[in-house]
Structure 1
Amino acid sequence: MAEPPPRREPAPVRHLARITDVALAVVTVVFFVAVALATGIHSPWRGTIPLALFLGALLLVRRRRPMTVLLLSIVGILVYHLTGDGTPAGWIWPAAVAYFTAATTPRVRWVAAIGLAQLVYSAIDFRWVLERNPARYVIHVAGEGLLLAVLIAAGLTYAAAMRWRERLRETDSRAHAAEERLRVSHEVHDVVAHTLAVVGVQLNVAADALEEDPAAAAAALRLAKDVRNRAMADLRSLIAILRDNPGDTAPQPDLASLGTLVADARAAGLEVTLDEHGDPAAVPAIPAIAVYRVVQESLANTLKHAGASRADVTIKYGPRSITVEIADNGRGAPADADVTEGHGLAGMRERLSALGGALTAGPIPGGFAVRADIPVAGSTA
């Protein structure tokens, strides 16, 4: 299977990220200049404003090059402190956003090492205050160290939260894919079961009539071929869902295809009546597919197992639910016997359960009956 391409964030998320970066750049520029002016800088255009603009511009690419942005920010701050005649206090905070962003990457140890080196240099650079005001010196160095620790811890926490969200998204995606594959397996079973039932009957007819009535045998073989071709088209559509690109899948059978099911069953020798009440055009797609599959599986079971000559299909379309009943006159189990469910009945039950519906199946006087109650999406029934 091909390697999936990197997941691209939705456009609103990308726009919000750009707005956030611009806002952080503006805040950094304004705050840096304000602190410089408050600490006695009289000629901000000599170095303060250019450095502020440089730090702000770097933040616009912080997501793509976090380590580069951090290193360039530190170099700019170092040059500013070495060449300026009076500088605002603080070495760590002007690069606060750069430190936080870099700490979200796998190179967090390098970030901590760089921050520690900058902190040591800051302590040495500020040593002239130690003799005059030891308390101020300790507060300055400790504050810088605490800020560095907070920024790195915040970056680590943010990165962990993003990884957890990504894992949760992947888990949800895998669960959805598993549900989809289970649904497809039910669809495949229904198609194969119906096809084998109808084709098997037609092949038996052809074998019996081959010598006495070649025309009837040929007609039976043509019908078996038609059913087989339709089934192959359905299977290709379903199998495409399991591939990387399900965009070319054909629509699933719906209520308009019930007539084909009935015609196939009649051609196989089963007398089938279809009685519909209500408006099938108002039924949403998902319940419509469920109705089709219930009728398909029930008629296939009747052809394969019941030995029935007649089946009555009754469908009642209501505004809140759909009721499907299929009753045949085959040799059902005794009324007090347990019904052993095969893959067909189990698949129908799971399908309807996923939609909030229910399935009952069992012997009735003179035959066997299946009843499905399917809620209509959006109803409050």
Structure 2
Amino acid sequence: MAAPHALSAAAPAGPSARSSARSSTRHTGWIADLAFAVLTVVLFVAVALATGVHNPWDGQIPLALFLGALLLVRRRWPMTVLLLSVAAVFAYHLAHFSPAGWIWPVAAAYFTAAGTSRVRWVVVVGVAELVYSAVDARMIIDRNLVRYLIHTFGEGLLLAALVAAGLAYAASQRRGDLLREAEYRARAAEERLSVAREVHDIVAHTLAVVGVHLNVAADTLREEPAEAAAALRLAQDVRNRAMKDLDSLITVLREGPAGTEPQPDVSSLGALVAGARAAGLDVTLHEHGDLSTIPAPASVAVHRVVQEALANTLRHSGATMAEVAVGRHARSVTVEITDNGKGDSSGGGVAEGNGITGMRERVRALGGTLTAGPAARGFAVRAEIPVAGSPE
């Protein structure tokens, strides 16, 4: 057994990753703020020049620069930016006769504030500005009624569109946050399940093997002290390996996979079988095909299935013999563990514990299938995991 290096692959993003994401979001937000500011300044000045203003420095350019500067802090103080922008437009129209609009110069401020919880106040401010603009432009009615209607209803439609766009954007942001939170929780749940499987595999196998050696030591302590000492040493070796595995697992959970050993895979099956033999189980290992070509996830799963099956055999079945067969085929890997322990030739059901459930979940995560139950002469566990094709 070795430390679970691949465990962190499914882990939720750590604090550094989330901090990087927030930094990227802030950077993008500043770009948007600057873009809104520049666009507001350019459009306002362009409209002023297009409507015949001869000296834009008299009021148009200072107002445009003020509105643009406010937009640089629109996300931090959206309502304050909106109120100051509207007040500046009011002051401008009181001091200058200008065909410049009332709503569109502060469009970005309306859009931003509409996405906050104070959207009702945004509507109130916008309607008040529209009413005042309609009254202020009443002298146009006699000269050009169509222009007055376009001015009044056009800005009303613009205000409605800005509020609707702000609400839609805020809803989209909230939906994205909920999806990210759900994804984070799903990854966290998957990681907890993965940790539970790893801990179960390590502890269950260790307790099974150590238990057998302790029983041997207890039975032979008086008559064969040398044999009892050997059994205790083997139990201690298994315990030390398990502690090393658990320590590496905790390291992965705390600090990530750097510096830990790779996951145990099919290359470790020999040591796994040797440990079961040392515990008194006559295990035969059959390997078919080139097992070195098995992809890492499937190779780890095969090791864990064999480990759990042998641990169950040692703990529960009373078996004296077991066979392990692992085959590498063109598009799949198969593994079968059978023993001569307590079986049911009638094919009766078997109560699944955490071990069998964990094996099935591990194999299913890779798109494979696993069956476990009584066989003709004992108990059998069979798994098939699909892998990329290669020559047999």
> Contact conserved, 1:333 with 1:339, CA < 8 A, in 2?
no
Cα distance, 1:197 vs. partner?
Answer: 1.0
Which structure has the higher relative contact order (CA within 8 Å, separation 6+)? 2
What does 1:247-326 align with in structure 2 at a 5 Å threshold?
251-326=262-337
Partner in structure 2 of residue 27 of structure 1:
39
Q: Distance in 2 between matches of 1:159 and 1:378?
A: 47
Return the match for 2:74 from 55, 58, 62. 62
Q: Distance in 1 between matches of 2:256 and 2:166?
A: 37
- Which AA in structure 2 matches 1:232? M
Distance 1:377 1:59, change over 3 A: farther
Partner in structure 2 of residue 83 of structure 1:
95
- Which AA in structure 2 matches 1:47? G
More displaced 10-residue stretch of structure 1: 354-363 or 137-146: 137-146
**Is 2:190 the counterpart of 1:179?**
yes
> Contact conserved, 1:272 with 1:313, CA < 8 A, in 2?
yes
Distance 1:97 1:244, change over 3 A: farther
Partner in structure 1 of residue 12 of structure 2:
none
Report SS of the residue matched to 2:327.
strand
- Which AA in structure 1 matches 2:125? I
Partner in structure 1 of residue 10 of structure 2:
none
Return the match for 1:52 from 55, 64, 67. 64
Distance 1:69 1:7, change over 3 A: farther
Cα distance, 1:141 vs. partner?
Answer: 2.7
> Contact conserved, 2:345 with 2:377, CA < 8 A, in 1?
no
Q: Distance in 1 between matches of 2:20 and 2:132?
A: 41
Cα distance, 1:14 vs. partner?
Answer: 5.4
Partner in structure 2 of residue 227 of structure 1:
238
Report SS of the residue matched to 1:9.
helix
Q: Distance in 2 between matches of 1:247 and 1:76?
A: 57
More displaced 10-residue stretch of structure 1: 143-152 or 200-209: 143-152
- Which AA in structure 2 matches 1:206? A
Q: Distance in 1 between matches of 2:270 and 2:135?
A: 89
Distance 1:377 1:217, change over 3 A: same
Distance 1:236 1:325, change over 3 A: same
> Contact conserved, 2:335 with 2:382, CA < 8 A, in 1?
yes
Partner in structure 1 of residue 338 of structure 2:
327
Unaligned runs of 5+ in 1: none
**Is 2:111 the counterpart of 1:100?**
yes
Q: Distance in 2 between matches of 1:78 and 1:65?
A: 20
* TM-score (ref. length: structure 2): 0.84
Distance 1:189 1:69, change over 3 A: same
Unaligned runs of 5+ in 2: 1-14
Q: Distance in 2 between matches of 1:333 and 1:325?
A: 18
**Is 2:145 the counterpart of 1:119?**
no
Report SS of the residue matched to 2:21.
coil
Distance 1:123 1:232, change over 3 A: same
Q: Distance in 2 between matches of 1:134 and 1:325?
A: 88
Q: Distance in 1 between matches of 2:382 and 2:253?
A: 31
Cα distance, 1:296 vs. partner?
Answer: 0.4
- Which AA in structure 1 matches 2:382? R
1:155-201 per-position Cα deviation (integer Å, ceiling 9, x unaligned): 11211121112112211221222222223222222222211210110
Identity, % of aligned positions: 65
Distance 1:117 1:245, change over 3 A: farther
